[in-house]
């Protein structure tokens, strides 16, 4: 194969015009108003892809048949992920690929025509076109697969998060109401023989708990609408404690600070977390006393539920139990945390910390 002025190596034709191709490609991307150019990472990746494609074209011309480095898969996969994360649609990638193809081909045809005789030039141009097309098409396909895989992963994550949210709602709202109804029915049965009036009052609490549970269930089955956020954290906690009142357990509630410092949805989530901690203490700890403290400062809402019940080994149940998981997840959604300290025979302490800051008005309850 005779290539004038290139020491017989047709791949040198690509090297000669490589920089011109890359510079013009970047320029036409900008002129076209491409999303690939607008995003800095996408632009850098497009130029890297162009270099790799030109490398494949050079290898194709040298070998006399189409050559595409297998490493293209790794780079194209990264490109697809990055484009999906940045919101750069595959259509923009296809348009950028088309711009590069035309730009590179124009320079390569000119260089080949000037550097080879007529018979050889036709053969080299055919090879160059085949190399360009194959290298680009493989990269586009791999990048598109990566793009869609990334989005499918996001959909899967969203579905998993929605399942966890539904589990929290069922446990914290429906499960709570049923637990109260069951407890009050048991107390009513215990008082039936000795104190008929008190037994009747417990039945009234059962009816109210069932009505509230039915309302919460209606909300959950109607596009899972969250309930109206609590207006007063202190009043909501008092109401809850009255529902679960037990003569054998002394429960002390202390709420301090200005509730207006916490947004309504923060108060709502804090109520559900504290309520779950108290419910767990009463249900599983069998304590003589439970102390509930809530402190609301301008920078933080903190709360603690301390009982002197039988306690447990947190390490033995970590990762298990919807209640503990629900408390932690609700706190994390507000950039907060729940700490649980306990030891068998020495009670349990549940601590909640939620940072308070100005949040978007558009944010809704989770």
Question: What's the Cα-to-Cα distance from 121 to each of 10, 53, 126, 162, rounded to whole Å?
Answer: 10, 20, 9, 61
Residue 76: inside a domain, yes or no?
yes
Give a yes or no: residue 214 inside a domain: no
| pLDDT digits 0-9 by tens, 119-130 | 688 888 999 999
The 3-class SS string of 112-152 reads HHHHECHHHHHHHHHHHHHHHHHHHHHHHHHHHHHHHHHHH
Domain contains 187: no
Query: Whose CA is closest to 44, among 16, 75, 84?
Result: 75
Is the domain of 108 the same as that of 240?
A: no
Are residues 29 and 155 both part of a single domain?
yes
pLDDT at 364: 39
> How many folded domains does the chain comprise?
2
pLDDT confidence bin for 366, thresholds 50/70/90: very low
| Residue 140 and residue 16 in one domain | yes
**Which residue segment(s) compose the domain that 16 sits in?**
12-159
Last residue of a domain, one of 142, 159, 176: 159
**CB 1, CB 8: distance < 8 Å:** yes
For residue 196, being part of any structural domain is answered with no
Asked if 247 and 114 sit in the same domain, the reply is no
Residue 197 falls inside a structural domain:
no
The pairing of beta strand 250-257 with beta strand 289-296: parallel
CATH number of the domain within which 261 lies: 3.30.565.10
Question: Are 145 and 236 within one domain?
Answer: no
pLDDT 10s digits, 42-76: 899 999 999 999 999 999 999 999 999 888 888 88
What average pLDDT does the structure give for the chain? 84
Domain-embedded: residue 186? no
The predicted-structure confidence for 216-275, as pLDDT tens digits, reads as follows: 776 666 544 445 567 899 999 998 888 787 778 899 999 999 999 999 889 989 998 999
pLDDT tens digits, 187-200: 888 888 888 888 88
Q: Are residues 234 and 329 in the same domain?
A: yes
- Are 153 and 245 members of one domain? no
Most confidently predicted of 90-94, 144-148, 164-168, 289-293: 289-293
Residues 267 and 363 placed together within one structural domain of the fold:
yes
Q: Determine the Cα–Cα distance for residues 329 and 338; give it in Å rounded to an integer.
A: 9
Name the region of 92 (left: φ>0; alpha: ψ -120 to 50; beta: rest).
alpha
Residues 245 and 359 in one domain: yes
The answer to whether residue 205 is domain-embedded is: no
Does residue 237 share a domain with residue 365?
yes
Q: Is the residue at 213 inside a domain?
A: no
Q: Are residues 33 and 116 in the same domain?
A: yes
Q: What is the pTM of this model?
A: 0.48
Q: Is 81 exposed, middle or buried (0-12, 13-18, 19+ CB in 10 A)?
A: middle
- Residue 158: which pLDDT band, with cuts at 50, 70 and 90? confident
- Domain closes at, from 159, 179, 208: 159
The reply to whether 116 and 247 lie within a common domain is no
Residues in the chain, overall count? 366
Among residues 135, 159, 183, the one where a domain terminates is 159
């Amino acid at each position: 194969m005779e290539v004038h002025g290139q020491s017989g190596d047709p791949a040198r034709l690509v090297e000669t015009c490589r920089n011109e191709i890359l510079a013009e490609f970047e320029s036409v991307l900008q002129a076209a108003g491409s999303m690939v150019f607008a995003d800095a990472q996408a632009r850098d990746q497009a130029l890297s892809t162009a270099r790799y494609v030109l490398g494949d074209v050079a290898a194709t011309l040298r070998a006399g048949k189409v050559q595409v480095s297998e490493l293209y898969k790794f780079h194209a996969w990264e490109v697809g992920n990055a484009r999906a994360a940045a919101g750069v649609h595959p259509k923009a990638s296809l348009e950028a690929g088309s711009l590069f193809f035309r730009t590179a081909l124009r320079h390569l045809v000119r260089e080949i025509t000037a550097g080879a005789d007529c018979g050889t030039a036709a053969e080299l141009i055919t090879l160059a076109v085949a190399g360009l097309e194959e290298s680009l098409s493989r990269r586009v396909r791999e990048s598109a697969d990566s793009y869609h895989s990334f989005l499918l992963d996001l959909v899967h994550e969203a579905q998993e998060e929605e399942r966890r949210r539904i589990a929290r709602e069922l446990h914290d709202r429906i499960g709570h109401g049923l637990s109260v109804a069951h407890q009050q029915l048991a107390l009513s049965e215990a008082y039936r023989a000795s104190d008929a009036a008190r037994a009747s009052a417990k039945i009234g609490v059962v009816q109210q708990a069932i009505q509230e549970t039915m309302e919460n269930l209606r909300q959950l089955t109607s596009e899972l609408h969250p309930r109206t956020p609590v207006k007063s954290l202190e009043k909501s906690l008092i109401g809850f404690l009255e529902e679960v009142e037990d003569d054998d357990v002394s429960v002390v509630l202390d709420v301090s600070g200005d509730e207006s410092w916490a947004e309504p949805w923060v108060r709502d989530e804090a109520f559900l977390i504290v309520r779950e901690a108290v419910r767990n203490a009463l249900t599983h700890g069998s304590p003589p006393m439970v102390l509930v403290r809530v402190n609301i400062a301008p920078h933080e809402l903190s709360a603690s539920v301390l009982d002197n019940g039988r306690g447990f080994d947190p390490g033995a149940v970590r990762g298990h139990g919807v209640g503990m998981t629900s408390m932690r997840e609700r706190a994390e959604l507000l950039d907060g945390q729940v700490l649980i300290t306990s030891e068998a025979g020495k009670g349990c302490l549940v601590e909640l910390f939620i940072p308070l800051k100005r949040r978007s008005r558009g944010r809704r309850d989770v």
